[in-house]
Amino acid sequence: MPMVQSTVSIIPIQGVDVQVERRGKGPPLLLLHGLDGPAGHLPFLQRLTQQFDVIAPIHPGFAGSAIPEHFDGMEDLVYLYLDLLDALALQQVTLVGLSIGGWAAAEIAVRNTSRLAQLILVDAVGIKPGSRETRDIADIYGQAASDVTKLLFHDPTRSPALAELSEAEIARVAANRIALALYTWDPYMHNPKLKYRLHRIDVPTLLIWGAHDGVVPVAYAEAYHNLIPGARLVVIPAAGHLPQVEQPETFVDHVVSFATR
């Protein structure tokens, strides 16, 4: 598969410099990355660029970018991307959110779908379907790295080994975790009000889930699915929380089939 040339731009949004990678040709697809950080180096994104104009911003605080002083939670990220959609004058966008990016995408869609053609949520966090005593979302902060890897991956050998990373890469991983905590810590990985707003989503919606997700299992996906009118759910075998990493071809096939139906 030939590499598609990319452009990286810094787009100022209300005093925040947003780093955006853009590559590919076709209808626009806005990709909001997950807790593992930007996905520009991963094979699934390269495959998407064969079908879409992929626009992939970096959440402030990830990949060495600065966290704005006034940011203190997910809502800041949501309004940043609503403004980005306006700044780029995008229309008929396929909005794809991975993990915490899925949470952000759902929050965007309950506020304003006027620029969206469809919504795809991939192993999204963001809701709490159970009671106060129910552990709906696994605690990834209080466990050893090896145990977190088992939650994220069906095949833990697919996870990058920390021992093989350079000092700069390890520092970046640590900075990513700080940013992740900013967006997801309080309350942990969800907005208590979101489940009461998902009925507002009025664009076709697909949920893609890894069958062996240890962070938010398929039962969590089914709760999300039941709260979004007309949503579809597909479960990918032999994949955990990152099906786009473990099963990239199957993942892209589902995205393309849904978005170009």
Instruction: Give pLDDT tens digits for 140-157.
Output: 998 998 999 999 999 998
Instruction: Give pLDDT tens digits for 80-100.
Output: 999 999 999 999 999 999 999
Is the pLDDT confidence value at 24 over 80? yes
- Sheet (strand 28-32) strand order: 6-13, 16-23, 53-57, 28-32, 93-98, 116-122, 205-210, 232-236
Residue 3: predicted pLDDT: 56
- Residues 149-183: b if buried by 16+ CB within 10 A, e if exposed: bebbbbeeeebeeeeeeeeeeeebeebbbebbebb
Residue 173: predicted pLDDT: 84
Mean pLDDT, all residues of the chain:
94
At 4, is the pLDDT very low, low, confident or very high (cuts 50, 70, 90)? low
Instruction: Give pLDDT tens digits for 118-143.
Output: 999 999 999 999 988 889 999 999 89
Residue 204: predicted pLDDT: 98
Cβ(24)–Cβ(52) below 8 Å: yes
- Residue 30 CB neighbour total at 10 angstroms: 26
- Domain positions in the chain are 6-259
Residue type present at position 167: E
Residue 172: predicted pLDDT: 85
At 1, is the pLDDT very low, low, confident or very high (cuts 50, 70, 90)? low
Distance CA 127, CA 189 (A): 8
Phi, psi for residue 62 in degrees, rounded to 5:
-95, 155
Residue 139: predicted pLDDT: 94
Distance CA 79, CA 179 (A): 17
* Stretch 26-50: mean pLDDT: 93
Tokens of 89: 């004058």
Cβ(94)–Cβ(259) below 8 Å: yes
Residue 169: predicted pLDDT: 81
Cβ(21)–Cβ(230) below 8 Å: no
Phi, psi for residue 27 in degrees, rounded to 5:
-65, 150
Instruction: Give pLDDT tens digits for 161-216.
Output: 766 778 888 888 888 999 999 999 999 999 999 999 999 999 999 999 999 999 99
Which residue, among 146, 137, 129, has the nearest Cα to 99 in the 3D structure? 137
Instruction: Give pLDDT tens digits for 53-72.
Output: 999 999 999 998 999 999 99
Name the CATH superfamily for 6-259: Alpha/Beta hydrolase fold, catalytic domain (3.40.50.1820)
